[in-house]
Amino acid sequence: MKRQLLTLICAVFMCGSLDAQQGYRNPIIPGFNPDPSVCRVGDDFYLVTSSFEYFPGLPIYHSRDLVNWRQIGHCLTRDSQLPVQNAASSGGLFAPSIRYHDGIFYVVCTNMSGGGNFFCTATDPAGPWSDPVRVQVGGIDPDIFWDDDGQTYFVNPSGRGIRITPVDLATGRATGPARQVWDGTGGRWPEAPHIYKKDGFYYLMMAEGGTEYAHCETIARSRDLMGPYDSCPMNPILTHCNYVGQSNLIQGAGHADMVQAPDGSWWMVFLAYRTTSPGSYHHLLGRETYLAPVDWPEGGWPQVNGNGTVSVDMNVPTLPLHPWPAVSAVDEFEGEAPGVEWQWLRNPLRENYSFTERRGSLRISASPATLDAIGQPSFLGRRQTENSFSAETLMSFTPASASEQAGMTLYQNNNHHYDLTAGRNEAGDPVVRLRVKLGMIDYIAAEHPYRGGDVRFRIEGTPRAYNFFFADGTRGEFTRLGEGLDTRYLSTETAGGFTGVMIGLWATSNGAPASGKAYFERFEYRPDTE
């Protein structure tokens, strides 16, 4: 009894109240989930991230404690909303913002592959969302701000700072000239602005430095929306591009949004990435979503987690934690459609997929499109979310010709992927292959005969190497295929772009007429968060 009482007293002393709890792990949303924006409605937080050429577009996440998030859907789920058929790798949807106003949710974003700036609305963030309303303002990284006079403003980068444009949301038209209001602190690529009205000030926050190692977040304020804005003397308020951050596993911190919790505390979500090891200049998982506590005294400036940096293990008081039920590591494809974690590469050719043709399996038909070209390949993938993981699938595939293959891929972009597939060799014998595609470098790293029909594939990822295995039939022992492949060649630093590695299931006939069908019975993904 004495011991429980003591523990209770400690808990209250450390967390200041019975509810508050201690500590959480960053990133809060792992895997490529960049450019986060957040809003709150009552006790519920909603967050959106960018998704580029992937379909559906703009994942929407829900939380009740800012630490535990579940994906509740996407903003853009119809071809009419999201034309990315010809979007280049890392084209398509750039940074979005989500806001709630007068009972309506707004997501505003830029489709770089057609349409430019637009917004969609919904009464339920899980959808359905409206068709896009085009906004006649150029540039990227838009946000919408409603001032007390009811006027609506579009806030976005002008290329050399931030501009504000009055807009009519009913038409998407500008209703007055754009005004350049703040040039930032001189960092390159001023981006991702957000405005917060607090204590009689308009606070204008933005990212500078570009979405890589020099990334940071800066802020300024004014008594008038149109300025002049005074820069915060402690800028940048968030960055890992300094002495404190130099050996941090986490790099590239910036592109942030802030939200006030029901208890009055302030929090910041932002993007950053985990390098494969502290000091290594490679990251595989893309830019992820992170969380930091913000101390924002009345009439003062926001201070992020004390010194403007974060860590994987955040030993700080949290909101009362509200964990969601654990998601199974195994997907048996029992539904009528893919789970929200699955993504198509560009708008899917729906005839190439079925979840009902053979109950409990995902059928992917080979199509002439390959992963190497900008097209609509037969592909369904999900984000690699940890540097260490295992992924496994059981597939049944009978290629109709030597040009057909099906299996798994580790896909960074159309020029950078490692493919583990089953097919036939020129002699027509069933083989499994490991192919390396790195721009002009394109070769079969390993090939091995197998019995044909059912085959299991397994990929084990470590920070330094991807290892590939296959097993004949549904039960056989796994056999290693080839040597481990270096992860650095699939990193963003090598491959470029704005996305992250996707673990895909796919099938192709490499340009030839296609008729083969691959049936994936199950997919098992085990990220290692240790």
Looking at the annotation, which residues are catalytic? 35, 191
Name the residue nearer to ligand 6LW (CB basis): 140 or 340: 140
Stretch that binds ligand 6LW, among 60-68, 159-167, 184-192, 222-230 (CB under 6 A): 184-192
What x-and-dash track marks residues 75-94 binding ligand 6LW by CB under 6 A?
Answer: -------------------x
113/115 Cα distance (integer angstroms) = 7
Q: Does 35 interact with ligand 6LW (rule: CB under 6 A)?
A: yes
Q: Does 498 interact with ligand 6LW (rule: CB under 6 A)?
A: yes
Q: Does 256 interact with ligand 6LW (rule: CB under 6 A)?
A: no
Task: Name which of residues 196 to 225 contact ligand 6LW (CB under 6 A).
Answer: 210-211
Long-range contacts made by residues 298-303, C-beta under 8 angstroms, separation at least 24? 298/199, 299/199, 299/200, 299/201, 301/219, 301/221, 301/232, 301/233, 301/234, 301/237, 302/203, 302/219, 302/237, 302/258, 302/266, 302/268, 303/234, 303/237
Q: What are phi and psi of 126, to 5 degrees?
A: -80, -5
Closest CB 96 distance from ligand 6LW, rounded Å: 9
Q: Does 456 interact with ligand 6LW (rule: CB under 6 A)?
A: no
Stretch that binds ligand 6LW, among 22-30, 174-182, 188-196, 420-428 (CB under 6 A): 188-196
Amino acid at 449: P
Name the residue nearer to ligand 6LW (CB basis): 108 or 250: 108
93/60 Cα distance (integer angstroms) = 14
Other C-beta atoms closer than 10 Å to the C-beta of 414 total: 20
Rg of the chain over Cα atoms, rounded to whole angstroms, equals 24
Closest CB 287 distance from ligand 6LW, rounded Å: 7
Among 50, 165, 396, 403, binds ligand 6LW (CB under 6 A): 50
What x-and-dash track marks residues 122-141 binding ligand 6LW by CB under 6 A?
Answer: ------------------xx
Pairing of strands 362-365, 517-527: antiparallel
Closest CB 90 distance from ligand 6LW, rounded Å: 7
Find out whether 209 and 157 touch, Cβ atoms under 8 Å. no
Among 95, 256, 291, 485, binds ligand 6LW (CB under 6 A): 95
Stretch that binds ligand 6LW, among 185-193, 256-264, 307-315, 420-428 (CB under 6 A): 185-193
Residue nearest to ligand 6LW (CB): 211
12/18 Cα distance (integer angstroms) = 6
Q: Does 460 interact with ligand 6LW (rule: CB under 6 A)?
A: no
Find out whether 202 and 225 touch, Cβ atoms under 8 Å. yes
Name the residue nearer to ligand 6LW (CB basis): 271 or 481: 271
Q: What are phi and psi of 4, to 5 degrees?
A: -65, -40
Closest CB 152 distance from ligand 6LW, rounded Å: 21
Positive/negative CA dihedral, 342, 348, 350, 353? negative
Find out whether 137 and 152 touch, Cβ atoms under 8 Å. no
Stretch that binds ligand 6LW, among 189-197, 402-410, 445-453, 518-526 (CB under 6 A): 189-197
Name the residue nearer to ligand 6LW (CB basis): 154 or 468: 154
Spatial neighbors of 450 by CB under 8 A, at least 6 apart, are 422, 430, 431, 432, 470, 472
Q: Does 288 interact with ligand 6LW (rule: CB under 6 A)?
A: no
Burial letters 460-477, b for 16+ CB under 10 A, else e: bbebeebbbbbbbeeeee
Residue written as token pair 């963003």? 492
Name the residue nearer to ligand 6LW (CB basis): 215 or 424: 215
Q: Does 191 interact with ligand 6LW (rule: CB under 6 A)?
A: yes
Closest CB 283 distance from ligand 6LW, rounded Å: 14
Q: Which residues lie near ligand 6LW (CB under 6 A)?
A: 34-35, 50, 94-95, 140-141, 189, 191-192, 210-211, 255, 498
